[in-house]
Amino acid sequence: MQSLKKKEIKINNKEKITKICIDDFAIKKGHTYGTIMIDIESHKVIDIIFSRENNDVSEWLKSYPNIKVVSRDGSITYKNAISIAHPSAIQISDRFHILKNLTEYCKQYLTKYFKAKVIINNNLDNKPKSKNIINYSQNEKVLKAMQMFNVGIKKAKICEALKLNIKTLNKILEFDELDINYYGKSKLRIIQEERLKNKQEIINEAREMRKNCIPISKIAKALNLDRRTISKYLDEKTTGISTRLGVKRKSKLDQYINYIDKLIEIGVTSKTIYSKIKEMGYTGSESLIRNYKAQNKNNNYTSIVTTEVKRSSLIKLLYKPISKIKELSNEIVNKIYNSYPIYKEIINLVIEFKNILSSRTIDEFDRWIHKATELNINEINSFVNGITRDIDAVKNAVLYEYNNGLAEGVINKLKLIKRIMYGRCNFNLLKNKILRLENLKFN
């Protein structure tokens, strides 16, 4: 071991090295890193240095005068170092790292876009069969329940017909007349009805006084009202009911209600509904949609059968074909595509990118970048910006067969040697050991 530490192994025939792949590895993770060089043609480890900094790597590469091809990952530091040392060398970005970055960015977006479980409607292609359900107001339910109970209908049947809990029904059957009147009404509605009742009493009193030939001025004084108000009250067409009572104020949701109801039926989230109607010109807030859903949660929509699909299963489609994913089928995926068109766009984008890499059709590459940018998704834009900064090396990855698989494999072996030597390993010993093993292997 002492001889390994002291005796540095010389690297011969540097001028014969023309095609290499380089990659970094951790000497002390998060602190110090080294760079390893492998000959693409012989698969032999050529050299290792105790750095991955720009200046150190460029000086190191200059000592190999005839390098023509360098395969590497997407590191901009390595790109600059190679450009300084060998400006005319062909740099090739590793296809595995490029595709991994794309799928990771897509995964990040889909994780935010979908809930943990995605609900799809099994009846999207068919007309759903409506249930014959009558929607009763709360007061109507109370009166109907009492009426049904009085004619001898069993409680279980009443609960089923009116969609009531047995505890609620028992409570309803104990109501007196006042309770029935107030049951299910909001505080605002109760206040409005009290005002209506008081106003109607004043109108009736004014008309009674007028029948007794009392002048309008005296009626107005007695009731502490304006004479014009009394004249209005004496008109037979006037009632205590306000013209605005029960009239719903206009909402920014009004023109989208039918579309929103359809989306609610198939279990689409408020956030997704907001995104969809925003594209249609909606200018309101997402909270309006949430409030609308909350107010209408007890509405009886058409009878539909739904299926839950895990988000993790949908993300698997970034990496595997449908036939390799047990939880998915062509039918389920097509329904997801119909409900979530952006998901289809992303999956197709990944498939197209894989096809470009495998078929080496460089002519399609610029069109793919344009299509990806048009989606206007931050995560995909980040990926496009990354490959655009290193566009020549990425295009070379499409054109050439070289990759960084050799370096990845050697680094795995290097990590194993590090673990075996744990506690008595410095960089020089590690370097000499690996290079000696390579010399024994190839001589």
Q: What is the pLDDT of residue 92?
A: 94
8 A C-beta contact, residue 338 and residue 84: no
Mean pLDDT of 251-267: 83
Please determine, for residue 127, whether its predicted confidence score (pLDDT) is greater than 50.
no
**Which has the higher per-residue pLDDT, 227 or 316?**
316
Q: What is the pLDDT of residue 137?
A: 62
8 A C-beta contact, residue 162 and residue 136: yes
8 A C-beta contact, residue 89 and residue 68: yes
Mean pLDDT of 46-52: 91
Q: What is the pLDDT of residue 379?
A: 94
Q: Could you read off the pLDDT of 350-383 as tens digits, one per residue?
A: 999 999 999 888 889 999 999 999 999 999 999 9
Give the burial string for 308-317 (b: 16+ CB within 10 Å, else e).
Answer: ebeeebbebb
Q: What is the pLDDT of residue 136?
A: 58
Residue 381 has, within 13 A of its CA and on its CB side, a CA count of 6
Q: What is the pLDDT of residue 146?
A: 80
**Among the listed ranges 132-146, 147-161, 216-230, which one has the minimum average pLDDT value?**
132-146
**Which has the higher per-residue pLDDT, 437 or 313?**
313
Q: What is the pLDDT of residue 392?
A: 93
Please determine, for residue 86, whether its predicted confidence score (pLDDT) is greater than 50.
yes
Mean pLDDT of 403-413: 89
Please determine, for residue 28, whether its predicted confidence score (pLDDT) is greater than 80.
yes
Please determine, for residue 247, whether its predicted confidence score (pLDDT) is greater than 60.
no
Please determine, for residue 155, whether its predicted confidence score (pLDDT) is greater than 60.
yes
Quickly tell me which residue has 């000592």 as its tokens: 63
8 A C-beta contact, residue 23 and residue 3: no
Q: Could you read off the pLDDT of 384-394 as tens digits, one per residue?
A: 999 999 999 99
Please determine, for residue 259, whether its predicted confidence score (pLDDT) is greater than 50.
yes
Residue-by-residue DSSP string for 109-173: HHHHHS-SEEEEETTTTSPPPPP--PPPPHHHHHHHHHHHHHTT--HHHHHHHHT--HHHHHHHT
**Which has the higher per-residue pLDDT, 79 or 246?**
79
Which of 125, 123, 112, 124 has its CA nearest to residue 343?
112
Quickly tell me which residue has 């540097």 as its tokens: 14
Quickly tell me which residue has 């190839």 as its tokens: 442
8 A C-beta contact, residue 394 and residue 71: no
What the block records as the tokens of 134 is: 């009558």
Q: What is the pLDDT of residue 130?
A: 42
Residue type, 382: S
Mean pLDDT across the chain: 84
8 A C-beta contact, residue 93 and residue 397: yes
Going edge to edge, which strands form the sheet with 19-28? Answer: 45-49, 32-39, 19-28, 69-72, 90-93
Mean pLDDT of 231-238: 83
Mean pLDDT of 24-39: 90
Return the C-alpha torsion angle 65, 70, 73, 78, nearest 10: 30
CA distances (Å), origin 224, targets 55, 235, 248: 94, 18, 32
Q: What is the pLDDT of residue 131?
A: 42
Which of 408, 407, 402 has its CA nearest to residue 89?
402
8 A C-beta contact, residue 99 and residue 50: no
Please determine, for residue 108, whether its predicted confidence score (pLDDT) is greater than 90.
yes
**Which has the higher per-residue pLDDT, 94 or 169?**
94
**Which has the higher per-residue pLDDT, 307 or 47?**
47
| Residues facing 22 on adjacent strands | 37
Mean pLDDT of 219-236: 87
The answer to whether the pTM exceeds 0.75 is: no
Quickly tell me which residue has 């009116």 as its tokens: 162
8 A C-beta contact, residue 48 and residue 435: yes
**Which has the higher per-residue pLDDT, 315 or 290?**
315
What the block records as the tokens of 256 is: 């989208």
| Residues facing 33 on adjacent strands | 26
Residues 6+ positions from 103 with CB-CB distance below 8 Å: 318, 319, 350
Q: What is the pLDDT of residue 57?
A: 94
The phi and psi torsions of 34 (rounded to 5 degrees) equal -120, 175
Rounded to whole angstroms, the Cα distance separating 109 from 379 reads 6
